[in-house]
């Protein structure tokens, strides 16, 4: 609920990402989305829409319309638009009817813990790739094969390093050239 502190932090992160990664990078798109989420939590839907549109444009340019991130951003834009319209209707009702206005509460959805963790992992560059059971079995088999190969190579090197006294060549006596002439 520390909206102002969050907003200050995220806007600084947006500026840094823009400076170092370019205004059209995926990190900037994610930063715009996070800033939009804070503005939406503060019911500042105009600012939230502006930032989410920036993020959506980047995702659409980078990935196209059919990408999951582009679709998520599009859905969030729709949600923000609905919330902005509901807020404006509420304000109009208050101006029109004063204290007798029938005010419907706005829908604020706090992000789920899994959503927050996913965003933090994305920000920190941690990607989770879902694997099927078959993929996991193949990966285990590959790791086991590499381990066996590594142990075999390590064992061969250890065998080569141990000196067998029977295999050691006998030292030769030094050869001194003769100075005699015949």
Q: What six digits make up the tokens of 80?
A: 């923000």
User: Measured between alpha carbons, how far is 35 from 29 in angstroms, rounded to an integer?
Assistant: 10
pLDDT bin (cut points 50, 70, 90) of residue 17 is very high
DSSP 16-67: HHHHHH-TTSHHHHHHHHHHHHHHHHTT-HHHHHHHHHHHHHHHHHHH-TTS
Please tell me what DSSP assigns to residue 82: H
pLDDT, tens digit (0-9, with 9 covering 90-100), for 88-135: 888 888 888 776 666 566 566 666 677 767 777 777 777 667 778 888
Instruction: Give the pLDDT score at 110.
Output: 62
As a 3-state breakdown, the chain gives helix, strand, coil percent values, each rounded to 5, of 70, 0, 30
pLDDT above 70: residue 154:
yes
pLDDT, tens digit (0-9, with 9 covering 90-100), for 44-55: 999 999 999 999
The predicted model scores a pTM of 0.61
pLDDT above 80: residue 62:
yes
- For 19: left if phi > 0, alpha if psi spans -120 to 50, otherwise beta; the answer is alpha
pLDDT, mean over the chain: 81
User: Measured between alpha carbons, how far is 33 from 51 in angstroms, rounded to an integer?
Assistant: 6
């Amino acid at each position: 609920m520390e909206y102002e502190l969050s907003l200050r932090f995220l806007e600084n992160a947006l500026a840094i990402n823009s400076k170092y990664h370019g205004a059209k990078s995926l990190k900037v798109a994610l930063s715009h989305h996070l800033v939009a989420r804070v503005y939406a939590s503060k019911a500042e839907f105009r600012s939230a829409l502006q930032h989410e549109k920036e993020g959506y444009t980047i995702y659409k340019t980078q990935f196209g319309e059919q990408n999951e991130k582009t679709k998520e951003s599009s859905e969030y834009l729709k949600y923000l638009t609905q919330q902005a319209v509901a807020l404006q209707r509420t304000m109009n009702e208050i101006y029109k009817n004063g204290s007798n206005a029938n005010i419907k509460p706005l829908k604020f959805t706090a992000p789920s813990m899994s959503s927050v963790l996913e965003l933090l992992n994305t920000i920190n560059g941690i990607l989770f790739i879902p694997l099927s059971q078959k993929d996991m079995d193949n990966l285990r088999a590959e790791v086991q094969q590499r381990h066996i190969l590594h142990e075999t190579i390590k064992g061969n090197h250890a065998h080569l390093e141990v000196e067998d006294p029977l295999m050691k060549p006998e030292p030769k006596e030094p050869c001194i050239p003769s100075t005699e002439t015949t």
